[in-house]
Structure 1
């Protein structure tokens, strides 16, 4: 379990991120077209999993904007923005912002992604939402980099995530 903070207040997650050098656990998430997506749908592609509580918070929105900007210059790389937001909210946000270099996926149906990746808040006012984290996965499914952001109100280390891809 990760000990993090939310607005300076202690919070914990249900587990820890998968370890660097291991295979990324499979997942089943829902895209904005309400289709199921799994890790195998991205085989042969580098992935940045941008995990966060909700598109309707300032820091989460900024992380999507920043990864959207940086993703446009990356070869064979997709940024997957993952939360428990409804797919409709994710589509609305990206449509209004003109963001098209990221793919939004939701864990709203089962919450299994958050449990498997260890990022679901176990307590706090965000209980059952996903904490802020980044997981970078190579083309063969190997995890290259992880970051569990220690203060949920802060942005992830974009450069560390992007440097792991080179």
Structure 2
């Protein structure tokens, strides 16, 4: 990406209908490896959202627009057309924003444990400060070869 942010994704490959899955806050794409394994007839793309997983861990821009732009970029670059977009928790909120901004790229929207968001600006800022205070793990968990083969 042109912003200096690396967005990591896992692509199962194949000719099936594309399904893009977005994890929740403090999660990673790895949470959905069992889901991807259970969908052999689909091409699953699991995205590590910015600040998570193997994507850039401390990007300067953590705006909702930046998350949306990242997902749109991956969909266009990897699939090139419309997808079923699945989002869990924060990933669900991002998925709703992607569908609203780029309905041409989303044929179906699946939401898990999510909602449209709430809270005042002050409450949201306080929550952001809380999450920014978390220590980030410095080690990378060793992944099985079949999963590493999907990393781009």
Same fold (TM over 0.5): no
By relative contact order (CA 8 Å, sep 6+), the higher-ranking structure is 1
Structure 1-normalised TM-score? 0.33
Point out the structure with the larger strand share. Answer: 1
Point out the structure with the larger helix share. Answer: 2
Instruction: Give the structure with higher Rg (CA).
Output: 2
